[in-house]
Amino acid sequence: MTTETTLPPAIVFRADTPIGLTIIRDLGEHGVTIHAVARSCEGIGLYSKWTTRGYLRPSDNGSTIELLNWIAAEHGAAFLLGIADSDLLLLRAAADAGRLGSLRALVPEAAQLNMVLDKSLTYAVAREVGVPVPTTWQPREGAMIRELPEELIFPCVLKWADPRHLGTGLSDLGIPFLKAEYCQNRSELKQALARYERYGRYPLVQEFCPGVGLGHMIFIHRGEALLRLQHRRISEWPPEGGVSTVCESLPLLLNAELFRKSETLLKRIGWQGAAMVEYRLDHRTGRASLMEINGRFWGSLPLAYRAGAPFAWYTYAVLGLGMRPDPPRYRPFIRCRYMMPETRRILAVIQCRGQLKNREFMSVTGEIFAYALQFFSPRSRYYVLTLRDPVPFLADIVFATRRVWRRFIRSRSTQSMRNFWANVWGANTTKSGY
């Protein structure tokens, strides 16, 4: 685990979430000194025993870059790892402009980032290498949608090809940003698209792909896959598609041909580093459909860490030090739970029984039973809670309790208790979990 030689310190940028916490733990256990930057004092990565020193991110990008350079100068930090897409773009632009000094940003190149952030570009390359993609229609900008293509398949999902380019256009017009919107028929689709006529731009219209989420986590270096892990999503928050709240590692022998296509796709893009290729897999038909490529550290990274696949360490060792660690054997059938959103999901399924447009759920009783049973499984792990590093879990509980209490105080004069609990367990995901 811990190396005998002194390793250069690293900065983990955006230590607020279980993803950042996992990177801190992974690197810390390998002997790397960690400086963690978070958006607020509630960033759970700040409380890890592996965090040597924590910092709050300034509100503007210029001051943020200055802070990173100061950490490098004062503490000898050599490498910088980012998490969110917006942060990767910021760090890559700063690195390309020579604004990071001696600090090396271990983030993808701009061309590769653009390729995976724009779903239209991703799907085009995927078709070239034989990766299955869902039937997709992109309405023309500025057009008034009068007729829908006959080949559309229902139900369908509306999602933006590249949310980066939306800017404030939607909010300026009072149009809500919806990450995913389900339409069961042509009438619902016409109504949904009409909402965007004033804006003049439209989301992708994509056939709904039933089944489970399947993820191929791969670390690519110079055209070779050095680290691999396959996993499936068991549940998500929001219930109709979102953050993985329970996921499970799978053997590489399963879906082997599809995994090879995932590797081919990343190689065609010219990817360097960690990425996760995400599909929907319908076990009834055997059909898989590409959803997206996560060209950043992804939400289910805690599962990889808990199963024994150290993607953060590979990023540091391979891209930073030029090392090639011995490939580990990860443990299949390990389940990892993101507990606060998973609890919200269960309550939402109970409250909205029969109303959810994604019909891929078991009975409410079955969902509750599965939720409770996993507490007793020896294969269960948690996104935040570990006995080796318990303080982030305790801090997370304190912060979550404080947020609930504040909402309760605000709600006393403005809404009923019933509406208060609906707000607490409603659709706004927090960063809490254990």
pLDDT digits (tens, 9 = 90+) for 113-152: 999 999 999 999 999 999 999 999 999 988 878 889 999 9
Mean pLDDT, the chain, integer: 91
Residue 137: burial class (beta carbons within 10 Å; 0-12, 13-18, 19+): middle
Q: How confident is the model at residue 298 (pLDDT cuts 50, 70, 90)?
A: very high
Which residues are registered as beta bridge partners of 56? 38
As a whole number of angstroms, the distance between CA 269 and CA 218 comes to 13
Q: How confident is the model at residue 424 (pLDDT cuts 50, 70, 90)?
A: low
User: What CATH topology corresponds to 109-134+210-385?
Assistant: D-amino Acid Aminotransferase; Chain A, domain 1 (3.30.470)
How many CA atoms, within 13 angstroms, populate the side-chain half-sphere of residue 62?
Answer: 0
Helix extents (H) in 173-300: 186-194, 256-269
Tens-digit pLDDT profile for residues 238-294: 766 678 999 999 999 999 999 999 999 999 999 999 999 999 999 999 999 999 999
Q: Where do the structural domains in the chain lie, given as residue ranges?
A: 10-107, 109-134+210-385, 136-207
Per-residue confidence (pLDDT) for residue 413, from 0 to 100 = 59
Once rounded to an integer, what is the mean pLDDT over residues 164-173?
88
As a whole number of angstroms, the distance between CA 254 and CA 201 comes to 40
Task: Tell me the torsion sign for CA atoms 36, 219, 255, 118.
Answer: positive
Tens-digit pLDDT profile for residues 227-245: 999 999 999 887 666 789 9
As a whole number of angstroms, the distance between CA 221 and CA 217 comes to 13
Per-residue confidence (pLDDT) for residue 360, from 0 to 100 = 54
Q: Which residue has the tokens 């390309």?
A: 96
As a whole number of angstroms, the distance between CA 221 and CA 267 comes to 9
Q: Are 313 and 27 in contact (CB under 8 A)?
A: yes
Q: How confident is the model at residue 3 (pLDDT cuts 50, 70, 90)?
A: very low
Q: Are 400 and 341 in contact (CB under 8 A)?
A: no
Per-residue confidence (pLDDT) for residue 419, from 0 to 100 = 60
As a whole number of angstroms, the distance between CA 59 and CA 39 comes to 9
Q: How confident is the model at residue 433 (pLDDT cuts 50, 70, 90)?
A: very low
As a whole number of angstroms, the distance between CA 81 and CA 104 comes to 9
Tens-digit pLDDT profile for residues 393-402: 999 999 999 9
Enter the pTM of the model: 0.90
User: What CATH topology corresponds to 10-107?
Assistant: Rossmann fold (3.40.50)
